[in-house]
């Protein structure tokens, strides 16, 4: 079986029909477990106190904000190179989910920053690049809805996605590129000495898994809706011609 | 059962409440869109098969 088989809308719809509900249930299980574990049973941090509980929302949502754009970039490149409509529609479907994740990361970051930094917002490299990423999501969604021809909209939004990828990358590596600002470096590391304690790490990993699965479930559900809408437009055009 | 959130109870509660609202809105909108488009396609296909 080739991955390109899923470029066929009929094949995509038939395959994903069986996946969406189980994925939502699995996401609910992981999110429920990870967030309840982190909120009720994980200890306070010796310096940040109980605010460390915000990590179980902030880190996964920030990760998905960036990864969502990366997924849109891959789908957009497939559209630009191979002209598969499903990939363009998948990129369109992922944008509102990425926007929600970015908003959640900005919101939880502000609420966490206020007691720790004494400020809701700072023009710190990572915060600023995340705000720009948020604006790119808004621009991407606005561009899709402002162009009537779907193929032209897919072309233009794909180009915007390629340009915006610079900011998606910047928001991930801003702390490393500019060693300034208030935001700390990455909480998760493969280096055992740098990584956070297992007491925080384990519920965080379960929560991240929940966010990833929820993202996949939402993108599949929304892509199916976009494919159906495309079919409706084609049938309405046929009605008008006949 | 409820952990002692100390001086930061408001911030932690606000972060969780706001995040749940965002999650519920995006899930709710996606499910509503899915139902609406399915109904619309069914109607359009029925109309086309009748014609």
- The string of pLDDT tens digits covering residues A200-240 is 889 999 999 999 999 999 999 999 999 999 999 999 998 88
The continuous run of DSSP H or E covering A56 comes out as helix A55-82
Mean pLDDT, to the nearest integer, of A182-206? 75
pLDDT value for A169: 82
Q: Is the pLDDT of residue A193 over 80?
A: no
Residue B9, CA atoms < 13 Å, CB-side half-sphere: 6
Using a pLDDT cut of 70, give the percent of chain A over it: 90
From B9, B12, B30, residue closest to A221, measured CB to CB:
B30
pLDDT value for A175: 62
Q: Are residues A200 and A162 in contact, defined by beta-carbon separation less than 8 angstroms?
A: no
Q: Is the pLDDT of residue B2 over 90?
A: no
Predicted structure pTM score: 0.92
Q: What is the pLDDT of residues A12-71, one digit of tens each?
A: 999 999 999 999 999 999 999 999 999 999 888 878 888 899 999 999 999 999 999 999
Q: Are residues A59 and A101 in contact, defined by beta-carbon separation less than 8 angstroms?
A: no
Q: What is the pLDDT of residues A108-152, one digit of tens each?
A: 999 999 988 888 998 888 888 899 999 999 999 999 999 999 999
Handedness of CA A47, A51, A55, A61 (dihedral sign): negative
Place of tokens 């179980």: A56
From B19, B31, B40, residue closest to A108, measured CB to CB:
B19
The distance from CA A240 to its chain's CA centroid, rounded to whole angstroms, is 38
Please, which pLDDT band fits residue A192 given cuts at 50, 70 and 90? low
Neighbours of A237 (CB within 10 A): 10
pLDDT value for A91: 97
Dig out the tokens for A76 from the structure: 């957009």
From A44, A57, A222, residue closest to B33, measured CB to CB:
A222
CA distance A92 to A154: 8
CA distance A117 to A232: 51
| Contact (CB<8Å) B19/A61 | yes
pLDDT value for A194: 66
Q: Is the pLDDT of residue B39 over 70?
A: yes
Distance, in angstroms, between B34 CA and closest chain A CA?
5
Q: Kindly compute the dihedral angle of the four CA atoms of residues A22, A25, A29, A30, in this order, to the nearest 10 degrees.
A: 60
Q: Is the pLDDT of residue A177 over 70?
A: no
Q: How far apart are the first and last CA of chain A?
A: 38
pLDDT value for A125: 82
> Greater confidence, A104 or B9?
A104
> Which residues of chain A lie closer than 8 angstroms to B15, CB-CB?
53-54, 57-58, 107-108, 111-112
Interface confidence, given as ipTM, is 0.93
Mean pLDDT, to the nearest integer, of A160-179? 78
Please tell me the least confidently modeled range out of A9-23, A184-198, B9-23, B24-38. A184-198
Q: Is the pLDDT of residue B33 over 90?
A: yes
Residues A189-198 as b/e (b if ≥16 CB within 10 A, e otherwise) read eeeeeeebee
pLDDT value for A167: 79
pLDDT value for A42: 86
Q: Is the pLDDT of residue A191 over 80?
A: no
Distances (CA, A) of A119 to A33, A152, A181, B34, B49: 31, 43, 13, 40, 62
> Which residues of chain B lie closer than 8 angstroms to A225, CB-CB?
30, 33-34, 36-38
| Contact (CB<8Å) A49/B22 | no
């Amino acid at each position: 079986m080739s991955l390109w088989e899923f470029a066929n809308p009929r094949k995509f719809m038939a395959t994903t029909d069986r996946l969406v509900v189980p994925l939502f249930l699995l996401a609910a299980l992981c999110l429920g477990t990870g967030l309840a574990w982190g909120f009720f049973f994980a200890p306070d941090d010796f310096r940040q106190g109980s605010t460390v509980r915000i990590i179980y929302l902030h880190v996964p949502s920030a990760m998905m904000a960036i990864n969502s754009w990366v997924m849109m970039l891959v789908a957009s490149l497939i559209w630009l190179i191979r002209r598969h409509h499903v990939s363009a529609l998948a990129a369109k479907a992922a944008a509102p989910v990425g926007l929600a994740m970015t908003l959640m990361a900005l919101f939880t970051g502000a609420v966490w920053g206020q007691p720790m930094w004494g400020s809701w917002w700072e023009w710190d490299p990572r915060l600023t690049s995340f705000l720009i990423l948020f604006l790119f999501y808004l621009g991407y969604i606005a561009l899709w809805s402002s162009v009537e021809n779907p193929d032209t909209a897919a072309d233009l939004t794909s180009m915007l996605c390629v340009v915006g990828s610079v900011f998606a990358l910047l928001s991930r590596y801003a702390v490393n590129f500019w060693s300034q600002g208030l935001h700390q470096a990455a909480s998760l590391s493969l280096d055992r000495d740098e990584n956070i304690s297992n007491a925080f790490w384990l519920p965080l990993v379960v929560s991240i898994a929940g966010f990833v699965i929820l993202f996949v479930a939402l993108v599949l559900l929304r892509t199916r809706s976009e494919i159906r809408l495309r079919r409706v437009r084609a049938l309405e055009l046929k009605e008008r011609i006949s | 059962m409820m952990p002692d959130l100390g001086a930061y109870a408001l911030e932690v509660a606000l972060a969780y409440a706001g995040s749940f609202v965002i999650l519920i809105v995006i899930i709710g909108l996606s499910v509503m869109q899915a139902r609406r488009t399915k109904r619309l396609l069914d109607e359009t296909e029925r109309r086309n098969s009748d014609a």
